[in-house]
Structure 1
């Protein structure tokens, strides 16, 4: 049975506990794109959503052995593929 590729979604759409793989950083702002890449959000990185702040923004993710907080606007620029376990 062939597995179908799941659609790419913005990182901000994940739920707490969801795991995903970064597939693309899509930002018209080259400085933001570079900053996200420097923080480890590169293609193929596995991430998990740890929590949202009390008012929903920012969100905290875990990747490569550390935790990172991002604003929802920044997270929306990171396209991920959910990992279904």
Structure 2
């Protein structure tokens, strides 16, 4: 199973959350938003100049800073 950082995915790509490598406070905040291991995540769009990512988990849309996206490991789906 090969993983990559969430921030490396391009708009239109999909993956499965493999790990959340964050401090406890951020882990709980992301979990409350639906970021859980095994959940499917879609990249909707990425802002220019290393801006935030617009991601979708289920029916929830979230804008996520790339700093946090770098802490989330994803298993890309074809």
Report the TM-score, using the length of structure 2 for normalisation: 0.92
2:36 equivalent among 10, 21, 42: 42
For structure 2, list consecutive stretches of 5 or more residues without a partner in the other structure.
none
Aligned positions, number:
78
Aligned to 1:12: 7
Q: Displaced runs of 4+ in structure 1, greater than 6 A?
A: none
Q: In the TM superposition, what is the alpha-carbon distance from 1:54 to its structure 2 partner?
A: 3.1
Q: Partner residue of 1:21?
A: 16
Unmatched segments (≥5 aa) in structure 1: none
Alignment-derived partner of residue 45 in structure 2? 51
CA deviation digits over 1:1-59, x for unaligned, max 9? xxxx2x111100001100000011011x2101111111111011101100012333101
Shift of 1:61: 0.5
Report which of the two structures shows the higher radius of gyration computed on alpha carbons: 1
Using the size of structure 1 for normalisation, the TM-score is 0.85
Task: Quote the RMSD (CA, aligned, Å).
Answer: 1.0
**1:83 match:** 77
The equivalent of 1:61 in structure 2 is 55
